[in-house]
Chain A
């Protein structure tokens, strides 16, 4: 029972994390019909911005050397600027093309950023230690929870709440949701296109930066591919949830996050290395039952 409780806390933490990434991807998809592969690299680059560019295995710290408040601020700022830059330079010229072209272009942007990291930092994984105090366990109602797990959960849930409030209650948030429901109609009603798209990318930058810090604290290592798995999980989350639906993205994020933790905990030991394959197979089975996703939206299919 205790084990189950601990597992479900893990599941909730990871689920919230994936829900965040999925929400970022869902927001950008909503306003641009773009599935942003580069989201993976926002996370990677956020993590790498903690250290100075070098090929050393234990590199000198850059933003990581700061006190934690300016450190978080600097990373978030860097990733947000990066996200806005990719939008301005790569995606804006392509704004009115078909979804396939956009998908390929984001694949290209992602590959470009990944090679940039490779070029500056070298391909070997690195170790960084920040926030060591957080790895010690916290006793809570008889459960021993690693501090970082608690932090992840609190941060992810807080961000989710803030985002939902922002989307539901503020004028900008409502405009963003309107644009993501029907971009053309929203524009006709006076929603500025550039602004909402920039905000969507800004949010995905902030979320990417946050997740990168949480990851580094958790694993203590840097890898060129570190953003890949969360982003890929989030893609599947958005597809399961119904592509273009924001509540769907969040729900999908929780589904894949919880699934992967539960499988990790309860699969027989010899099957455990294949966990990702099992999760993706389940994703495909879900899609087999509901090809349009759990929430069907106008975004899934073009209207005639």
Chain B
């Protein structure tokens, strides 16, 4: 019972995801499934970002760099054996002429992203929280500049096509569940608690002997690993990789989702991603145009982004902590009460 209570916030999210998955699997069209897959991958990334930003209270604008690093790493290992020597001549021979198994390349790519996250975390987490936020932006720009100009290895700004596609709805679901499990375990671990303490009050946490540095570095590394994992999923769900899709607009999208849902809890992240993915899909279809009888209705392109920005602002103004306001989904009251009374009964029986 105690185990159920402590794991319920994570468990409930997983159950909700599975329920949503079942509905889509049974009723959804092919395009709905594609959208759902994309949303689940976004969720993986958002959960990764949450591990750092949600628990530490420091917004990171740099996590897309880990996505990019992992996505390109897996591209080098698995993509287009025939074309690679021509399109990416700058690769070292062991990448240029070889193709590696999917699982191995996924693991090494995630490890690379994690290693970069660890090293950059060592540097960035020395800064005070606000400066650290800005410095993560520097990280994003560094990675973006390097990858979009290192033409002999990354094909610059052009899109790389032809990666093996193996991420479908099921894979994405499993990945999202794994990410949630990791994030939840971190959150209730000692390091997670320490990090949350620094979020609530830096000075009080320091006074209680909690270092501001190591919990942040560890969280940054774990969240970098999850972000890298999301990068693998992005790359192998569409089969294409382009550095421009791992930049500010995508970052904005995910940050908006987390903020709307509520950055301070895992449930908020899941709710935000789900809700905004639905809203965005509705607007995307509306931008494409809906025909009502003979009338063609379409909203102007760009309004999707404006609605997103506007909803984020309104949430910030009127409900600063997002929809979930920092709460997790806890065991329902009747269930807990029932347990309490039964315990009391047991107590009295003993007496």
Interface, chain A (partner B; CB < 8 A): 35, 90, 93-94, 97, 99-101, 103-105, 107-109, 111-112, 114-116, 118-119, 228, 232, 235-236, 239, 243, 273-277, 280-281, 283-284, 287-288, 291-293, 300-302, 304
A/B interface sample: 20 pairs, CB < 8 A = A94-B317, A97-B316, A100-B59, A104-B255, A108-B309, A108-B316, A111-B249, A111-B305, A111-B309, A235-B134, A236-B138, A239-B134, A277-B145, A277-B146, A283-B135, A283-B138, A284-B138, A287-B126, A292-B128, A301-B128
Contact A236 B316 (CB under 8 A): no
Q: Which 6 A-B pairs have the closest CB atoms?
A: A119-B302, A112-B309, A115-B305, A273-B149, A277-B145, A280-B138
Give the chain A neighbours of B312 by CB distance below 8 A: 104-105, 108
Contact B302 A115 (CB under 8 A): yes
In the complex, how many angstroms separate the beta carbon of A246 from the nearest chain B beta carbon? 17
In the bound complex, how far is the Cα of B149 from the Cα of A274, in angstroms? 7
Contact B308 A111 (CB under 8 A): yes
In the bound complex, how far is the Cα of B145 from the Cα of A274, in angstroms? 6
Interface, chain B (partner A; CB < 8 A): 57-59, 61, 123-124, 126-131, 133-135, 137-139, 141-142, 145-146, 149-150, 202-203, 248-249, 252, 255-256, 259, 300-303, 305-306, 308-310, 312-313, 316-317, 320
Contact A104 B306 (CB under 8 A): no
* CB nearest to B248 among chain A residues: A228
User: Would you call the interface of chain B mostly helix, strand, loop, or mixed?
Assistant: helix
Additional A-B contacts beyond A97-B316, A116-B302, A302-B203 (11; CB < 8 A): A94-B317, A103-B133, A105-B313, A111-B305, A118-B302, A273-B145, A274-B145, A283-B138, A292-B128, A300-B128, A304-B203
Give the chain B neighbours of A280 by CB distance below 8 A: 138-139, 141-142, 145
Give the chain A neighbours of B301 by CB distance below 8 A: 118-119
In the complex, how many angstroms separate the beta carbon of A128 from the nearest chain B beta carbon? 21
Give the chain A neighbours of B249 by CB distance below 8 A: 111
In the bound complex, how far is the Cα of B309 from the Cα of A236, in angstroms? 24
In the complex, how many angstroms separate the beta carbon of A117 from the nearest chain B beta carbon? 9
Contact A105 B316 (CB under 8 A): yes
In the complex, how many angstroms separate the beta carbon of B107 from the nearest chain A beta carbon? 27
Number of A-B pairs, beta carbon distance below 8 Å: 130
* Most-contacted residue by chain A among B57, B138, B255, B308 (CB, 10 A): B138
Given contacts A100-B59, A277-B145, whether A287 and B127 have CB atoms under 8 Å apart is yes
Given contacts A101-B320, A104-B259, whether A109 and B306 have CB atoms under 8 Å apart is no
In the complex, how many angstroms separate the beta carbon of A139 from the nearest chain B beta carbon? 35
Contact B317 A104 (CB under 8 A): no
Give the chain B neighbours of A108 by CB distance below 8 A: 256, 309, 312-313, 316
In the complex, how many angstroms separate the beta carbon of A105 from the nearest chain B beta carbon? 5
Given contacts A104-B59, A284-B123, A293-B131, whether A277 and B309 have CB atoms under 8 Å apart is no
Contact B300 A119 (CB under 8 A): yes
Contact B59 A300 (CB under 8 A): no
In the complex, how many angstroms separate the beta carbon of A153 from the nearest chain B beta carbon? 26
Given contacts A35-B134, A291-B127, whether A118 and B142 have CB atoms under 8 Å apart is no
In the bound complex, how far is the Cα of B139 from the Cα of A105, in angstroms? 21
In the complex, how many angstroms separate the beta carbon of B186 from the nearest chain A beta carbon? 20
Contact B128 A291 (CB under 8 A): yes
In the complex, how many angstroms separate the beta carbon of B257 from the nearest chain A beta carbon? 12
Give the chain B neighbours of A97 by CB distance below 8 A: 316, 320
Contact A119 B306 (CB under 8 A): yes
In the bound complex, how far is the Cα of B130 from the Cα of A99, in angstroms? 7
In the bound complex, how far is the Cα of B308 from the Cα of A90, in angstroms? 15
* CB nearest to B207 among chain A residues: A304
Give the chain B neighbours of A103 by CB distance below 8 A: 59, 130, 133
* Most-contacted residue by chain A among B124, B129, B130, B259 (CB, 10 A): B130
Set B133, B135, B139, B313: member contacting A112, Cβ < 8 A: B313
* CB nearest to B305 among chain A residues: A115
In the bound complex, how far is the Cα of B278 from the Cα of A109, in angstroms? 22
In the bound complex, how far is the Cα of B113 from the Cα of A260, in angstroms? 28
* Most-contacted residue by chain A among B57, B137, B145, B313 (CB, 10 A): B313
Give the chain B neighbours of A105 by CB distance below 8 A: 312-313, 316-317
* CB nearest to A33 among chain B residues: B130
In the complex, how many angstroms separate the beta carbon of A34 from the nearest chain B beta carbon? 10
Contact B145 A287 (CB under 8 A): no
Give the chain A neighbours of B316 by CB distance below 8 A: 94, 97, 101, 104-105, 108
Set A116, A300, A302: member contacting B131, Cβ < 8 A: A300
In the bound complex, how far is the Cα of B301 from the Cα of A301, in angstroms? 42
Give the chain B neighbours of A119 by CB distance below 8 A: 300-303, 306
In the bound complex, how far is the Cα of B203 from the Cα of A304, in angstroms? 8
Give the chain A neighbours of B137 by CB distance below 8 A: 232, 235
Give the chain A neighbours of B127 by CB distance below 8 A: 287, 291
In the bound complex, how far is the Cα of B137 from the Cα of A114, in angstroms? 18
Give the chain B neighbours of A100 by CB distance below 8 A: 57-59, 129-130, 133
